[in-house]
Amino acid sequence: MHYSDTYQLIKKLKNKELANDLKQSLKDLEKSVNNPNFVSFLKKKQQEADTRDVFALRRDYDQQQFDKVIAGIQTILEHIDEAKKTNTADRDALNKMKAILLDIKQTASEQKQKETGSQFYTESEFYSLAKRYATHYLPFCQSSDPFKGSDFGGYCWGHTHHYGRLVSQGLLNDLSEASNKKLYRDFKQNWTVVDILFRRIGWYFKVSLEEQIRQAIWNALKDLDDQSTFNFNFLVDKWGFHSTSLRMVGDGIEYYENNYGVVKFPTREAAVNFLASYLLAQAEGCEGKIAFITVYKLPYTNQPDQDLFQDLPLAKLEKATPSLDDKVEHSQQLTAAIEALKSYIKPLRQQGAMKGRIKANELAFLCEELKSFPAEQVKARVEGILATKEHSLMLNRGSGFYLFKTGFKSHSTTETLLRDIVEAAEKTDHVLQLPSSSL
C-alpha cells in the first residue's frame, strides 16, 4: 500500500470536478513535503549559523515531513467525508481512498514516534566506515518515507532508479526519502528482461570471503565511466536482497545507500575498501554471508559535474592530519622513485582518456600517501596494489606486442614505476636494518 495508490482510485470517480480537486490536493501535499528539499534545508541552517550536526538536522527535517503528511492527509480525509454525503455513486471509491490515506497517516504517526530514538541518527557502522574512507556524507533513510504504507518492506530498487533519474536531470539536490508514484512503480516492477540481457555489468556468485568481494567490486568498477550510473545489488543470505547506486563525481566515486545515505570517495580504492567492509558488516550483523553481487548500468546518463556536497561544509568528514613531528624522511632512491611515479600523473591526464584520468587520480592520492609512510610501510602498501590484478592501477598492462617484447611480463608504465618503488623501499629497509659496527 502506498500514497500513490489513491491516484488510481481517483480515475474511477464519476464526479470529475471532485476528482480534479482531490488529485490537486494530493499533489499539493507531495510538493509541500519536499519543499524545501533536504539540501536546501541544510544550506539555510548553515546560513543561520546552526551549530547542530547533520544527524540532528536530519531528525528535524524528517519530523517536519511527518507533520506535514499527518496534517495534510487529515485535511484530505475531511474533504472525502464531506464529498461522500453528496456523491453516492462515488462512495465505494472514496471509502477505498480513505482506507489508504488512514493507513499512510497512521504509519507516519508511528514512524514519527520511532524516529526519536532511531539508531539512524547516531553512530552507525556505515557512518564509522564513511569517516574512515569517505570525504563527505549526507544521511538518507528510506524507512523515514512519510508516504509508505503499513506493509512497507523497502523500496530500494525504486530509490536506486530515482537517484539515477535525478542525476541525469541535474536535480540531485531534490533527492528525498519521500517516495512518489514513479519510484513506487519502479520498485514493484523490479528487474526487467532489458536489465538482464542488455544492462548487466556482472554477476558475482563466489563472494562470501573478503578477497572475493574486493575482486568483484574492482571488476565491476572497470566499466564505471563518467557517463554511467550503476545499480549495485547484493544478497545477504539471512537478510535479503538490497539495491544501491554508484557513479563518478569528478574523478572520484559517489555511493547512494538508501538505508543510510550518500557518501563520496576521493578514489576508487577508497570506494572498494568501504564497500567490502560495509558488505561484510551487513552479513556479520545477521550472522549470514554475501550470497552474490549483481551490477547493472541504469538507463540514465550521469552528470559527473553535479556535486550534491557543493557548498555544504557540514557534510565534510574531518580527517586527522599528520603532525609535523611525525614527518618521515626517505632515502634519496626512494624519494626519486616516488617522484618518478608522481611525474607520470601529468602525461596520463594530458592523454584525455577516461582510464588515464582514473589512473592519474589514484596516483595523485597514492603519492601523497607514500610520502607520509616509512620505507617498510611503503613497500607493503605498493606490494598490495601489485598483488591486486583488478586494481585500477593494474589495468591496461600493455599490448600483445609489448607482452612478447617484455618476455610475457607485460608491465605497464604504472606497474614498472610501482615496482621501482618497492625495490627502492627494500634497499632502504635493508640499510636501516644493518647492525652498527662495534668500536
What b/e sequence results for 253-291 when a residue is b if at least 16 CB atoms lie within 10 Å of its CB, and e otherwise? bbbbbbbbbbbbbbbbbbbbbbbbbbbbebbeeeebbbb
**pTM of the full predicted structure?**
0.91
Task: Supply the mean pLDDT for the chain.
Answer: 90
Question: For residue 86, what are the domain limits?
Answer: 5-117
The domain boundary residue, chosen from 283, 314, 345: 314
- Position 154 in a domain: yes
Do 166 and 257 share a domain, yes or no? yes
Decide: residue 247, CB within 10 A, 0-12 exposed, 13-18 middle, 19+ buried. Answer: buried
Q: Please, are residues 289 and 228 in contact by the beta-carbon 8 Å criterion?
A: no
Residue 29: per-residue pLDDT: 98
Could you tell me which of 66, 70, 68 has the C-alpha nearest to residue 143?
Answer: 66
**Mean pLDDT, residues 67-94:** 97
CA distances to 39, 152, 211, 234, 343 from 244, rounded to whole Å, are 20, 18, 21, 9, 37
Confidence of residue 434 (pLDDT cuts 50, 70, 90): very low
Longest dimension (CA), the chain: 110
Do 251 and 270 share a domain, yes or no? yes
- Position 122 in a domain: no
- Provide the number of structural domains found in the chain: 3
Q: Return the C-alpha cell found at 370.
A: 607514500
**Mean pLDDT, residues 28-45:** 97
What b/e sequence results for 158-180 when a residue is b if at least 16 CB atoms lie within 10 Å of its CB, and e otherwise? bbbbbbbbbbbeeebbbbbbbbb
Measured in whole angstroms, how far is the alpha carbon of residue 334 from the centre of its chain? 37
Quote the CA–CA distance of 81 and 85 in Å, as a whole number: 7
Do 246 and 292 share a domain, yes or no? yes
Q: Return the C-alpha cell found at 5.
A: 495508490
Side by side, the strands of the sheet bearing 252-257 are 136-139, 261-265, 252-257, 240-249, 229-236, 290-297, 200-204
- Position 130 in a domain: no
Do 166 and 256 share a domain, yes or no? yes
Quote the CA–CA distance of 139 and 105 in Å, as a whole number: 24
Residue 196: per-residue pLDDT: 66
Confidence of residue 328 (pLDDT cuts 50, 70, 90): confident
Residue 409: per-residue pLDDT: 53
The domain boundary residue, chosen from 247, 280, 314: 314
Quote the CA–CA distance of 202 and 234 in Å, as a whole number: 12
- Strand 252-257 vs strand 261-265: parallel, antiparallel, or unpaired? antiparallel
Question: Is 265's pLDDT higher than 90?
Answer: yes
Per residue in 299-325, pLDDT (tens digit) is 999 999 999 999 999 999 987 665 555
- Position 439 in a domain: no
Confidence of residue 194 (pLDDT cuts 50, 70, 90): low
Do 305 and 415 share a domain, yes or no? no
Do 275 and 341 share a domain, yes or no? no
Do 237 and 99 share a domain, yes or no? no
Three-class secondary structure of residue 245 per DSSP: strand
Q: Tell me the CATH number at 232.
A: 3.90.70.20
Quote the CA–CA distance of 176 and 186 in Å, as a whole number: 16
Q: What is the four-CA torsion angle of 380, 382, 387, 389, rounded to 10 degrees?
A: 160
Do 422 and 289 share a domain, yes or no? no
Do 269 and 177 share a domain, yes or no? yes
Do 106 and 52 share a domain, yes or no? yes
Q: CA torsion sign, 80 to 110 to 163 to 183?
A: negative
